[in-house]
Amino acid sequence: MAADQNGSNGPDLAQGIALVELADGAKLVGHVGEELVLLARRGAEVFAIGAHCSHYHAPLIDGLIVDDTIRCPWHHACFDLRTGEALRAPAFGPLAAWSVEQRDGKIFVQGRKGPEAKPRRSQVSEEPKRIVVVGGGAAGFAAVEMLRREKYQGEIVMLSNDDAPPVDRPNLSKDYLAGNAPEEWVPLQPDSFYSDNQIDLRLKANVARIEPRSREVALTNGETIAFDRLLIATGAEPIRLAIPGADQPRACVLRSLSDCRAIIERAKTARRAVVLGASFIGLEVAAALRARKIEVHVVAPERRPMEQSFGPQLGDFLRALHEERGVIFHLQDTPSAIDGDKVRLNSGGALEADFVVFGVGVRLDRRFGDLSSGMRQRVALARALLSDPDIVLLDEPTRTLDPVHALSIRSFIRDTLVRSQGKTVLLATNALDEAFELADRIGILRETRLFNIEREPGTNAWPQRLELFPPARHA
């Protein structure tokens, strides 16, 4: 950890350190004045950037160096080691970067680099005049933010059915829900970001249908919006179990800021809550409600929390950790109904509850077909939107890659990418990050546009082929 190195903030990098103290591929944290700086070496080059991720302040000393980038150890944000630019979500803010000089066998960190100004894109006839994004979540935000960062000069319209601008969703189930963070921390950017960047953000905008032939989006209020390119970034929606009482007001889900506000309002007067599900969201909600001194019961069908993802040992650890904080588990059980102020269980028991929170997972939002957007590909996405195809559709995978088949999957991805140079590829794979990295490594990313397509409903089969989309353009 940064501040623990040598019991201080590390060496004074302005005074220099010996080059031999930093092996190839190694990192260390020091300081320049009062600022913590991460040094990273790759071959003969040494880079100096801010020591903490701009998303949740994770220590990048624990991160992973991949080529000329570093990955955050917590949420896998990615930063350019040369410039500090945020290359991948969930981080959007850049890190400071410093000039590095090597002389007399030592490394010296000089002054801060200024922000790297990207050249303004010249207007070309092929560039779309208007891009419409359907969806007001992090994926849609990531796309429009990158479009403006890449100097796209056309119109951007962002249609969100939420009543608040895009938010940092992890905060909704953590500090903000627990009462430890103000609401000002929740938005991904202040309201002024959208007007300053000429992004037409429309809240409470419900899309009724999309007309690809006329290139229009029709809203439920009767308005139609023309587009030259369209991104569907509706993401996922929380699952409500199909049990009696699941639709009553005291049964809550957690996806949006308004959902979180509703839970907080109920928590102000509640004594007991029942959380259905022991996944990430379920456990985070349980911990946040315990911080508000509410009695919390967690009901889940598994033997241990998160066992399928992390195994029995970590499952036992997570259960013990939450039980130490007062969470009461009812495992290997499921709800049969929400009946007034009681949650009835299939085991025959019943739990009193002032309110209930569903934390049983999400499903892809399929309002406009079987495809929705992912956010990890925002760099390639933004650039692809500036050319072909006319409608870009991505899917954020929700299933876990089976490690037994990982090697064959990676070989399949690599072989397909090599055969698909210069084409638009729809990718149905959980290994999207790896696919993009492979494409970059084998030198085809600039010629090949990669997009993810959803598997056949109800199957977990890997695709046998990758094909162009939409087929009509290539007939």
Asked whether the beta carbons of 402 and 264 are under 8 A apart, the reply is: no
Going by pLDDT thresholds of 50, 70 and 90, the confidence category of residue 118 is: low
Count of Cβ atoms closer than 10 Å to residue 453 Cβ = 18
Residue 460 structural domain: 399-475
Asked whether the beta carbons of 159 and 207 are under 8 A apart, the reply is: yes
Looking at the structure, do residues 470 and 392 belong to the same domain, yes or no? no
User: Which CATH number do you get for residue 391?
Assistant: 3.50.50.60
Looking at the structure, do residues 208 and 134 belong to the same domain, yes or no? yes
Looking at the structure, do residues 259 and 354 belong to the same domain, yes or no? yes
**The predicted structure's pLDDT at residue 115:** 73
The angle formed by the CA atoms of residues 438, 119 and 230, to the nearest 5 degrees, is 60
Looking at the structure, do residues 258 and 344 belong to the same domain, yes or no? yes
How many CA atoms lie less than 13 Å away from 137 in the CB half-sphere? 24
Of the residues 62, 89, 112, the one at which a domain ends: 112
* Cα distance between the two ends of the chain: 56
427 CB burial (10 A radius; 0-12, 13-18, 19+): buried
Looking at the structure, do residues 301 and 392 belong to the same domain, yes or no? no
Q: Looking at the domain assignment, is residue 246 inside a domain? A: no
Q: Looking at the domain assignment, is residue 245 inside a domain? A: no
Res 22 pLDDT > 50: yes
Of the residues 52, 86, 112, the one at which a domain ends: 112
Q: How many domains does the chain have?
A: 4
Model pTM above 0.75:
no
Least confident of 251-260, 360-369, 457-466: 457-466
For the chain, percent of residues with pLDDT exceeding 90: 57
32 CB burial (10 A radius; 0-12, 13-18, 19+): buried
pLDDT per residue over 166-198, tens digit each?
999 888 999 999 999 999 999 999 999 999 999
**The predicted structure's pLDDT at residue 397:** 35
**The predicted structure's pLDDT at residue 386:** 39
User: Which CATH number do you get for residue 100?
Assistant: 2.102.10.10
405 compared with 90, residue with greater pLDDT: 90
pLDDT per residue over 381-435, tens digit each?
433 443 434 333 333 333 333 333 333 444 444 554 454 445 445 554 455 555 6
33 CB burial (10 A radius; 0-12, 13-18, 19+): exposed
**The predicted structure's pLDDT at residue 398:** 30
**The predicted structure's pLDDT at residue 103:** 93
CA 382 to chain centre: 16
Burial 456-471 (b: 16+ CB within 10 A, else e): eeeeeeeeeebebbee
Residue 88: enclosing H or E segment and its boundaries?
strand 86-88
The tokens for 7 are 């019991």
Q: What is the mean pLDDT of the chain?
A: 80
Q: Looking at the domain assignment, is residue 118 inside a domain? A: no
Instruction: Compute the CA torsion angle 173, 382, 154, 192 (nearest 10 deg).
Output: 30
Report the pLDDT averaged over residues 268-290: 96
Q: Looking at the domain assignment, is residue 221 inside a domain? A: yes
The tokens for 397 are 């995978």
**The predicted structure's pLDDT at residue 348:** 94
- Round to whole Å and give the CA distance between 145 and 454: 25
Q: 103 Cβ partners below 8 Å, 6+ apart? A: none
Looking at the structure, do residues 102 and 60 belong to the same domain, yes or no? yes
Res 363 pLDDT > 90: no
How many CA atoms lie less than 13 Å away from 273 in the CB half-sphere? 35
